[in-house]
A and B are shown apart, each in its own frame.
Chain A
Amino acid sequence: MSEVRHNSGYLRRAGTAGLILAALAAGRVVTGAFQADDSISAPFLRAGSVGKPVSLRYADVTAGHVDGSRCVSVGTSVLRTPGVFVVVPLTIVAKGKPANLRYAALQDRQGRTFLATGSRSPFAPGTSQPGLARYASVVVEVPPDAVAGAHLRIALDGLDQRRDDMADIDLGLTAAQAAGWAGSATGVSVPDAADQPPTIRTGRACEDQT
């Protein structure tokens, strides 16, 4: 009789362990099937358009008139591309505490992501002080077919944008603009980031910028 009770104890424990494993497996299947992991960790997109401030947790961000060319001058460098450079002026006003925005990218209609990083697609706004406007530019090198319908995405952290606000600004660009930029002989001069609005500088001819 005691042996039967002993065996039933083992069975009960084994059953409990089996149920726990089954519950864990079921949870994994459900989250995998519905891509819950991605939706939980995705950034919070805040939609906007050119000329209108986008309110983010850490700053208000406004995209200005978008320009483009097959060459740009950035600091002392002149960059050329077999595609086109898209140049977006930004006005950044930090909220509550200083903010140094480090993520910018162009997202095209095909789902491709063109990061503004490194020497050929620079984005270095520096630190924005709370309540004061900071003026900077995003430069992104893209193939011409990525321009029409592209959105600019801006976020605080350059490496990890999960679970935080991200601006998603429709730049209102067309294929005709892309073709014009790709065929243009006039480059775009990109001003350095500053606390003062940039002065308008006329772009020089691409061939003259060597």
Chain B
Amino acid sequence: MRFNVSAHLAAIAAVRSFDRFPRIAAMSITEEPPNDEPADPGRSKVAHRLLNQPLRNLGVGVAVVVLGTTAAFGGLERAAGTDRLAPVKVGVKTRVEPYDITLNRVVWVDDLPNVYPSERGNRWLAITATIRNLHEVSLYGAVELAESVTLSDVDGLVRTPEPDTDRVRSSYQKLIMDNSDLHPVQPSIDYKMVFLFEQKAGTPAPDRVKVELVGHTWREDSIDKTEKWLDPTVIAESTVPMIQLSETSG
């Protein structure tokens, strides 16, 4: 009786590897002869060696290939929102695309002339600001501008937060000099205006509010293929004191 020692050893090795890596080892047992040569003359040595690799090695290789592929599409770029946000500073001009915005005062007031709340007795949380449209075309006050300054974590606001966020946009954006709605926002004009947030009467006025400055990106809309200011992203946030506007404080 003739005995092929090398084939026997290969079979033992295959069975042992089956214990650790069942799929690869099983293929070795069923598809490969008990020597080092490929069974199929059409199969390359590279493929043969790959199939003989432990699954762990193949997994690492596949992961490297997948990561390399995603890198080509921006996978290795810094993810949005991972940077530490800058603080909101009252009195300091900040680039909040497509605007320059300087927050001037953060106050609350029980009522304002010629501005009517949705329910009698509601109060106004007001952020006065100087804003300038940096774009070369008019912008809509109720869209990008309303999104640019928001409040979070304030009880009793009448408006609901933006979808999937805690940010609440203002109810009105008014020009201070004539009390008109700031719409449109023309390019290259410094407007002194106020963002008005309506708060329900039964809720105490806050002594501090969390303010966010929200920038946008000019890019093509994937749906209608027109360029717009999209992707609102918080670029600065802080919790700042809010005081009552009195006649003496203006």
| Chain B 157-179 interface mask (CB, 8 Å, partner A; 1/0) | 00000000000000000010110
Indicate which residue in B136, B175, B177, B186 contacts A121 across the interface (CB closer than 8 Å): B186
A113 touches B136 (CB 8 A): yes
Q: Tell whether A115 is near chain B: CB-to-CB under 8 Å.
A: yes
Q: Tell whether A174 is near chain B: CB-to-CB under 8 Å.
A: no
CA distance A114 to B136 in the complex (A): 8
- Interfacial chain A residues near B187, Cβ < 8 Å: 112-114, 143
CA distance A78 to B179 in the complex (A): 10
Interface of B: prevailing SS = loop
Of B136, B140, B182, B189, most buried by chain A (CB within 10 Å of CB) is B189
* Residue of B with least CB distance to A146: B188
- Interfacial chain A residues near B182, Cβ < 8 Å: 120
B186 touches A114 (CB 8 A): yes
B189 touches A141 (CB 8 A): yes
- Interfacial chain B residues near A117, Cβ < 8 Å: 138, 184
| Chain B 177-201 interface mask (CB, 8 Å, partner A; 1/0) | 1101111101111111000000000
Q: Tell whether A77 is near chain B: CB-to-CB under 8 Å.
A: yes
Which residues of chain A (24-83) have a CB below 8 Å from chain B?
Answer: 71, 77-83
| Total B residues in contact with A, Cβ cutoff 8 Å | 20
Q: Tell whether B137 is near chain A: CB-to-CB under 8 Å.
A: yes
| Total A residues in contact with B, Cβ cutoff 8 Å | 26
- Interfacial chain A residues near B22, Cβ < 8 Å: none
Indicate which residue in B136, B140, B177 contacts A118 across the interface (CB closer than 8 Å): B140
B138 touches A114 (CB 8 A): yes
Indicate which residue in B136, B180, B189 contacts A82 across the interface (CB closer than 8 Å): B189
| Chain A 109-142 interface mask (CB, 8 Å, partner B; 1/0) | 0111111011111000000000000000000111
Given A77-B180, A119-B181, answer yes or no on A143-B186 (Cβ-Cβ < 8 Å). Answer: yes
A residues near B (Cβ < 8 Å) are 71, 77-83, 105, 110-115, 117-121, 140-143, 145-146
Of B138, B178, B184, B192, most buried by chain A (CB within 10 Å of CB) is B138
CA distance A118 to B141 in the complex (A): 9
Indicate which residue in A80, A111, A146 contacts B178 across the interface (CB closer than 8 Å): A80
B residues near A (Cβ < 8 Å) are 136-138, 140-141, 175, 177-178, 180-184, 186-192
A-B contact list, 9 entries, CB within 8 Å: A71-B178, A79-B178, A79-B180, A80-B177, A111-B136, A114-B186, A119-B181, A145-B188, A146-B188
A167 vs chain B, min Cβ distance (A): 19
CA distance A143 to B141 in the complex (A): 17
A118 touches B183 (CB 8 A): yes
Indicate which residue in A80, A83, A110 contacts B189 across the interface (CB closer than 8 Å): A83
B189 touches A120 (CB 8 A): no
Q: 10 additional contacts, CB 8 Å, given A105-B138, A111-B136, A146-B188?
A: A79-B180, A80-B177, A82-B191, A112-B137, A113-B187, A114-B138, A115-B138, A119-B180, A120-B182, A143-B189
A37 vs chain B, min Cβ distance (A): 10
Given A78-B178, A81-B189, A82-B177, answer yes or no on A115-B136 (Cβ-Cβ < 8 Å). Answer: no
- Interfacial chain B residues near A146, Cβ < 8 Å: 188
Given A82-B191, A121-B138, answer yes or no on A115-B184 (Cβ-Cβ < 8 Å). Answer: yes
Given A79-B178, A82-B191, A141-B189, answer yes or no on A115-B183 (Cβ-Cβ < 8 Å). Answer: no
A72 vs chain B, min Cβ distance (A): 10
Of B175, B181, B186, B191, most buried by chain A (CB within 10 Å of CB) is B186
- Interfacial chain A residues near B186, Cβ < 8 Å: 83, 114-115, 120-121, 140-143
A118 touches B178 (CB 8 A): no
CA distance A77 to B187 in the complex (A): 22
Q: Please list the 9 inter-chain residue pairs (A to B) with the smallest Cβ-Cβ separation, ordered nearest first.
A: A118-B183, A115-B138, A80-B178, A113-B137, A118-B184, A143-B188, A83-B189, A112-B136, A80-B177
- Interfacial chain A residues near B178, Cβ < 8 Å: 71, 78-80
A75 vs chain B, min Cβ distance (A): 12
